[in-house]
Amino acid sequence: MSSLALINEFLGQPANASEHGYQIDHILEFSHWFMGALFFGWSAFFVFVLIRFRRSRHPKADHAGVRSGISTHLEFSVVLIEAVLLLGFAIPLWAKRVNEFPPTQDAILVHVVGQQFNWTFHMPGPDGQFGRREIGLVTNSNPLGIDPNDPAGKDDIVVLGELHVPVNRPLIIELSSKDVIHNFDLPHMRIAADAIPGSLIPMWF
Protein backbone atom coordinates (compact mmCIF):
# COMPACT_ATOMS: atom_id res chain seq x y z
CA MET A 1 0.00 0.00 0.00
CA SER A 2 1.37 3.43 -0.96
CA SER A 3 1.96 6.20 1.57
CA LEU A 4 -0.86 8.20 -0.04
CA ALA A 5 -3.27 5.29 0.41
CA LEU A 6 -2.16 4.94 4.04
CA ILE A 7 -2.84 8.63 4.72
CA ASN A 8 -6.26 8.44 3.05
CA GLU A 9 -7.15 5.35 5.05
CA PHE A 10 -5.96 6.99 8.27
CA LEU A 11 -8.08 10.09 7.54
CA GLY A 12 -11.08 8.02 6.48
CA GLN A 13 -11.00 9.51 2.99
CA PRO A 14 -13.03 7.63 0.36
CA ALA A 15 -11.52 6.74 -2.99
CA ASN A 16 -10.87 9.72 -5.24
CA ALA A 17 -13.24 9.97 -8.22
CA SER A 18 -12.22 13.32 -9.75
CA GLU A 19 -9.34 14.48 -11.94
CA HIS A 20 -8.20 17.19 -9.52
CA GLY A 21 -8.55 15.02 -6.41
CA TYR A 22 -5.03 13.59 -6.59
CA GLN A 23 -3.59 17.11 -6.17
CA ILE A 24 -5.55 17.62 -2.96
CA ASP A 25 -4.61 14.14 -1.76
CA HIS A 26 -0.91 14.83 -2.33
CA ILE A 27 -1.10 18.11 -0.39
CA LEU A 28 -2.80 16.25 2.47
CA GLU A 29 -0.15 13.54 2.28
CA PHE A 30 2.74 16.00 2.37
CA SER A 31 1.11 18.01 5.18
CA HIS A 32 0.66 14.96 7.38
CA TRP A 33 4.17 13.64 6.78
CA PHE A 34 5.47 17.13 7.55
CA MET A 35 3.37 17.34 10.73
CA GLY A 36 4.58 13.87 11.72
CA ALA A 37 8.20 14.93 11.23
CA LEU A 38 7.56 18.07 13.29
CA PHE A 39 5.93 16.04 16.06
CA PHE A 40 8.77 13.54 16.38
CA GLY A 41 11.43 16.20 15.83
CA TRP A 42 10.14 18.57 18.50
CA SER A 43 9.44 15.63 20.85
CA ALA A 44 13.06 14.49 20.49
CA PHE A 45 14.24 18.06 21.04
CA PHE A 46 12.06 18.32 24.16
CA VAL A 47 13.57 15.11 25.60
CA PHE A 48 17.06 16.37 24.73
CA VAL A 49 16.40 19.65 26.57
CA LEU A 50 15.09 17.81 29.64
CA ILE A 51 18.28 15.73 29.79
CA ARG A 52 20.74 18.41 28.69
CA PHE A 53 19.51 21.03 31.16
CA ARG A 54 18.54 18.80 34.06
CA ARG A 55 18.97 20.16 37.56
CA SER A 56 21.77 17.80 38.55
CA ARG A 57 23.90 19.09 35.69
CA HIS A 58 22.98 22.75 36.16
CA PRO A 59 22.28 23.30 39.87
CA LYS A 60 22.45 27.05 39.37
CA ALA A 61 20.13 28.68 36.86
CA ASP A 62 21.69 30.48 33.92
CA HIS A 63 19.44 33.38 33.01
CA ALA A 64 21.28 33.98 29.74
CA GLY A 65 19.95 30.68 28.39
CA VAL A 66 21.13 28.92 25.26
CA ARG A 67 23.57 30.96 23.19
CA SER A 68 23.49 28.74 20.11
CA GLY A 69 21.45 29.80 17.08
CA ILE A 70 20.26 26.27 16.26
CA SER A 71 16.74 26.81 17.60
CA THR A 72 16.38 30.00 15.55
CA HIS A 73 17.47 28.18 12.39
CA LEU A 74 15.04 25.33 13.11
CA GLU A 75 12.12 27.70 13.63
CA PHE A 76 13.00 29.61 10.45
CA SER A 77 13.15 26.33 8.50
CA VAL A 78 9.70 25.31 9.74
CA VAL A 79 8.23 28.69 8.78
CA LEU A 80 9.91 28.49 5.36
CA ILE A 81 8.53 25.00 4.62
CA GLU A 82 5.05 26.06 5.74
CA ALA A 83 5.24 29.16 3.52
CA VAL A 84 6.29 27.04 0.52
CA LEU A 85 3.44 24.61 1.21
CA LEU A 86 0.91 27.44 1.49
CA LEU A 87 2.14 29.80 -1.23
CA GLY A 88 3.54 27.22 -3.63
CA PHE A 89 0.86 24.54 -3.47
CA ALA A 90 -2.30 25.28 -1.48
CA ILE A 91 -3.10 28.80 -2.73
CA PRO A 92 -2.37 28.05 -6.45
CA LEU A 93 -4.54 24.92 -6.26
CA TRP A 94 -7.33 26.86 -4.57
CA ALA A 95 -7.05 29.68 -7.15
CA LYS A 96 -7.25 27.16 -9.99
CA ARG A 97 -10.39 25.63 -8.50
CA VAL A 98 -12.19 28.97 -8.09
CA ASN A 99 -10.98 30.77 -11.22
CA GLU A 100 -10.55 28.18 -13.97
CA PHE A 101 -14.06 26.85 -14.50
CA PRO A 102 -14.67 24.57 -17.50
CA PRO A 103 -16.50 26.06 -20.51
CA THR A 104 -20.24 26.05 -19.88
CA GLN A 105 -20.95 24.50 -23.28
CA ASP A 106 -18.94 21.42 -22.28
CA ALA A 107 -20.23 21.15 -18.72
CA ILE A 108 -23.41 20.06 -17.01
CA LEU A 109 -24.95 22.89 -14.98
CA VAL A 110 -26.84 22.03 -11.80
CA HIS A 111 -28.46 24.27 -9.20
CA VAL A 112 -28.18 22.69 -5.76
CA VAL A 113 -30.46 24.10 -3.06
CA GLY A 114 -30.13 23.11 0.58
CA GLN A 115 -32.96 23.00 3.08
CA GLN A 116 -33.81 21.27 6.32
CA PHE A 117 -33.37 18.36 5.85
CA ASN A 118 -32.66 17.62 2.21
CA TRP A 119 -30.89 18.72 -0.96
CA THR A 120 -32.79 19.64 -4.11
CA PHE A 121 -31.07 19.35 -7.50
CA HIS A 122 -32.36 21.49 -10.36
CA MET A 123 -31.21 20.88 -13.95
CA PRO A 124 -32.36 22.44 -17.21
CA GLY A 125 -34.16 20.26 -19.71
CA PRO A 126 -33.29 19.74 -23.39
CA ASP A 127 -33.63 23.49 -24.05
CA GLY A 128 -30.66 24.14 -21.74
CA GLN A 129 -32.47 26.94 -19.89
CA PHE A 130 -33.55 27.13 -16.27
CA GLY A 131 -37.11 28.12 -15.53
CA ARG A 132 -37.80 31.19 -13.42
CA ARG A 133 -38.02 30.52 -9.69
CA GLU A 134 -40.15 32.48 -7.27
CA ILE A 135 -40.14 31.97 -3.50
CA GLY A 136 -43.89 32.61 -3.35
CA LEU A 137 -44.51 29.58 -5.58
CA VAL A 138 -42.76 27.10 -3.26
CA THR A 139 -44.99 24.20 -2.24
CA ASN A 140 -44.46 20.57 -1.24
CA SER A 141 -44.91 19.54 -4.86
CA ASN A 142 -42.86 22.48 -6.19
CA PRO A 143 -39.94 22.71 -3.71
CA LEU A 144 -38.01 25.32 -5.73
CA GLY A 145 -40.95 27.48 -6.74
CA ILE A 146 -40.49 27.04 -10.50
CA ASP A 147 -42.95 29.26 -12.37
CA PRO A 148 -45.40 26.94 -14.18
CA ASN A 149 -46.11 29.70 -16.70
CA ASP A 150 -42.47 30.05 -17.76
CA PRO A 151 -41.87 28.04 -20.98
CA ALA A 152 -38.20 27.55 -20.05
CA GLY A 153 -39.21 25.65 -16.92
CA LYS A 154 -41.58 23.18 -18.56
CA ASP A 155 -38.83 20.62 -19.17
CA ASP A 156 -36.71 21.32 -16.09
CA ILE A 157 -35.63 18.36 -13.97
CA VAL A 158 -35.94 18.54 -10.18
CA VAL A 159 -34.58 15.70 -8.03
CA LEU A 160 -34.64 15.39 -4.24
CA GLY A 161 -31.81 13.89 -2.23
CA GLU A 162 -29.82 12.08 -4.93
CA LEU A 163 -28.23 13.07 -8.22
CA HIS A 164 -26.74 10.88 -10.96
CA VAL A 165 -24.47 12.46 -13.57
CA PRO A 166 -22.50 11.03 -16.53
CA VAL A 167 -18.81 10.28 -16.10
CA ASN A 168 -15.99 12.12 -17.89
CA ARG A 169 -17.94 15.37 -18.11
CA PRO A 170 -17.33 18.42 -15.91
CA LEU A 171 -20.15 19.45 -13.60
CA ILE A 172 -20.70 23.06 -12.55
CA ILE A 173 -22.71 23.48 -9.37
CA GLU A 174 -24.39 26.69 -8.26
CA LEU A 175 -25.04 26.27 -4.56
CA SER A 176 -27.63 28.08 -2.45
CA SER A 177 -29.95 27.54 0.51
CA LYS A 178 -33.61 28.13 1.26
CA ASP A 179 -33.35 28.50 5.03
CA VAL A 180 -30.05 28.27 6.95
CA ILE A 181 -26.39 27.57 6.20
CA HIS A 182 -25.74 23.98 5.08
CA ASN A 183 -22.47 22.27 4.23
CA PHE A 184 -22.42 20.57 0.83
CA ASP A 185 -19.67 17.97 0.83
CA LEU A 186 -18.73 15.48 -1.90
CA PRO A 187 -15.71 13.70 -0.40
CA HIS A 188 -15.23 11.39 -3.41
CA MET A 189 -14.88 14.51 -5.59
CA ARG A 190 -12.75 16.34 -3.01
CA ILE A 191 -15.00 19.41 -2.95
CA ALA A 192 -17.04 21.06 -0.20
CA ALA A 193 -18.68 24.44 0.34
CA ASP A 194 -21.30 26.11 2.50
CA ALA A 195 -24.73 26.80 1.03
CA ILE A 196 -25.67 30.29 2.25
CA PRO A 197 -29.16 31.82 1.98
CA GLY A 198 -29.19 34.70 -0.51
CA SER A 199 -25.86 33.70 -2.08
CA LEU A 200 -24.99 31.64 -5.15
CA ILE A 201 -21.76 29.69 -4.57
CA PRO A 202 -20.16 28.24 -7.73
CA MET A 203 -18.09 25.07 -7.60
CA TRP A 204 -17.15 22.33 -10.04
CA PHE A 205 -15.54 18.94 -10.51
Asked whether residue 1 carries a pLDDT value surpassing 70, the answer given is no
Higher pLDDT, 201 or 104: 201
Q: Where are the domains of the chain?
A: 3-99, 108-204
- Give the percent of the chain with pLDDT over 70: 98
- The radius of gyration computed from the CA coordinates of the chain, to the nearest angstrom, equals 26
CA distance 90 to 23: 10
pLDDT of residue 95: 87
CA angle 136, 137, 141 (to 5 degrees): 140
pLDDT of residue 75: 85
CA distance 132 to 146: 6
**What mean pLDDT do residues 27-41 have?**
87
How sure is the predictor about 65, in pLDDT bands with cuts at 50, 70 and 90?
low
How sure is the predictor about 98, in pLDDT bands with cuts at 50, 70 and 90?
confident
SS (H, E, C) the chain: CCHHHHHHHHHCCCCCCCCCHHHHHHHHHHHHHHHHHHHHHHHHHHHHHHHHCCCCCCCCCCCCCCCCCHHHHHHHHHHHHHHHHHHHHHHHHHHHHHHCCCCCCCCEEEEEEEECCEEEEEECCCCCCCCCECHHHCCCCCCCCECCCCHHHCCCEEEECCCCCCCCCCEEEEEEECCCCEEEEEHHHCEEEEECECCCEEEEC
**What mean pLDDT do residues 67-75 have?**
79
**What mean pLDDT do residues 107-133 have?**
94
Q: Which CATH architecture has domain 108-204?
A: Sandwich (2.60)
**What mean pLDDT do residues 161-184 have?**
93
Q: Is the pTM of this model over 0.85?
A: no
